[in-house]
Amino acid sequence: MTTTILVTGGCGFIGSNFIHHLHAVRNSWKVVCVDALTYAGNLGNLDEIRSWENFTFERASIADRGAMDEVFSAHKIDYVVNFAAETHVDRSIEDATNFILTNVGGTQVLLDSERAHGVKRHLQVGTDEVYGSLGVAGFFVETMSLHPNSPYAASKASADLLCLAAHHTHAQDVVITRCSNNYGPYQFPEKMIPLMLRNALSDKQLPVYGDGMNVRDWLYVEDHLKAILLVLEKGRAGEVYNVGGHNEWHNIDLVKHILNELGKPESLIKFVEDRKGHDLRYAIDPEKIASELGWKPETMFPEGIKKTIKWYSDNQKWLDDVTSGDYLEYYNKMYKVDSDGTVTR
C-alpha cells in the first residue's frame, strides 16, 4: 500500500525543503501539499517538484474546515505534517490575528478533520520558543512547563496543547517536534540569516536588535527534516521531541561571521531599537530524540553556513522575486529605512 502524506505549509521555508527531502528519500510516497500561499508561501520553491507524478498541490487554508474536509475526502491521507503557520515574531507583535486563526484555529481544524477521515498520525511542527527564555545557563527539555513570551510563541504553544488534548481525549495519534532556529535555502528574508545575507550581498546596512547579545541555537534545515521524518515514522504517540544541535550564537557574533565569510566590512552593522519582549536565550537539549530515536545533527555550522551563503548567492533572482512588492514595504516600515537605504530605527 502506498503511503500518502499531507504536508501543510509546503510552500514555505521548512515545508518546501521537507517536500524536496521526501522526493529524494521517500520517492514512492504520494505527497499532497496544502498551502494558502500567504506572503511567506512561494510555489516557486517547488518548481523542481511539480513534475513529480506523486505530487499534488491544493491551495487552501488549514483554518477552512470545508476545504480541509474536501482535501481529506479526495486523497486517502495516512500522515499529516503540519508546517502551516504564521511564523514571524515581529509580525505577531504588530498584529496577532492571523497567528490565532492559522496557528491555533487551523491546527484544531486539521485535528478534527483528520479524525473524521481516519488519518493515522498528525505531526505538529513546533518550536522551542514555547518554553520562553533561558538565562545564561541551562537547556530546554521536553518536561519543562511552557512560558511563551511572544504572541507567535503563545499561538504555537496553544497548538501543541490542542494536539496533546486530542491525544488524551480522543486517543488521536499525534507527535510533536520542537526545534530551535533553522537556517538554509528558501528561507524568507525577513528572518535573520537570509536578511543579513541579502543586505550584506548588496552592501546595505545589517540591522541588529539591541546590543546583539541575544542567543539563538541554529540548526541546518536538512537536519530538522531528518528529525521530522524519524519522529513521524518511529516516535511514540503523544510524545514531544526537542530538536537542536548545541550550536549557540550571540546574534552579533553570527552577523560578524556572515560578513567575514562574504569578505564584507563590519561597518555595515547597524544596531537598532530592540524587539519588544525580546527573549534572551534559547538552547535545546536534544537528548531524548538522540537516545530514543538515534537522531543527531549531521551538518556542522561552518559547512551549513557556507552552503547557505552559496545558495543565496546563486539564487539572486529568487531573492529579488520574494522581496519585491509587499515585503519591501514591510521591511522599510519595520526598520524605518530612508530613501537612500539608511536604517534609522
Ligand X SMILES: NC(=O)c1ccc[n+]([C@@H]2O[C@H](COP(=O)([O-])OP(=O)(O)OC[C@H]3O[C@@H](n4cnc5c(N)ncnc54)[C@H](O)[C@@H]3O)[C@@H](O)[C@H]2O)c1
Task: Point out which residues bind ligand X (CB under 6 A).
Answer: 8-9, 11-15, 34-38, 40-41, 61-63, 83-87, 102, 106, 125, 127, 156, 179, 181-182, 188
How many Å apart are CA 69 and CA 55, to the nearest integer? 19
CA atoms within 13 A on the CB side of 281: 15
**In sequence order, what are the beta bridge partners of 30?**
4
Backbone angles phi and psi of 121, in degrees to 5: -155, 140
Say whether 129 is catalytic.
Answer: yes
Name which of 14 and 269 has its Cβ closer to ligand X: 14
* Residues in Cβ contact with 61 at an 8 Å cutoff, skipping those fewer than 6 apart: 36, 67, 102, 106
318 near 46, Cβ under 8 Å? no
How many Å apart are CA 137 and CA 154, to the nearest integer? 23
CA atoms within 13 A on the CB side of 227: 35
Least distance from ligand X to the Cβ atom of residue 188, Å: 5
Please tell me which residue in 152, 220, 282, 335 is annotated as part of the active site: 152
Least distance from ligand X to the Cβ atom of residue 327, Å: 12
Name which of 108 and 205 has its Cβ closer to ligand X: 108
Name which of 99 and 343 has its Cβ closer to ligand X: 99
Please tell me which residue in 35, 86, 114, 129 is annotated as part of the active site: 129
**Residue whose C-beta lies closest to ligand X:** 12
The secondary structure element, H or E, covering residue 121 is: strand 121-127
Q: What is the DSSP string of 11-27?
A: TSHHHHHHHHHHHHH-T
Least distance from ligand X to the Cβ atom of residue 210, Å: 20
Please tell me which residue in 35, 86, 114, 128 is annotated as part of the active site: 128
Helix, strand, coil distribution of the chain in percent, nearest 5: 45, 20, 35
Residue positions annotated with a catalytic role: 128-129, 152
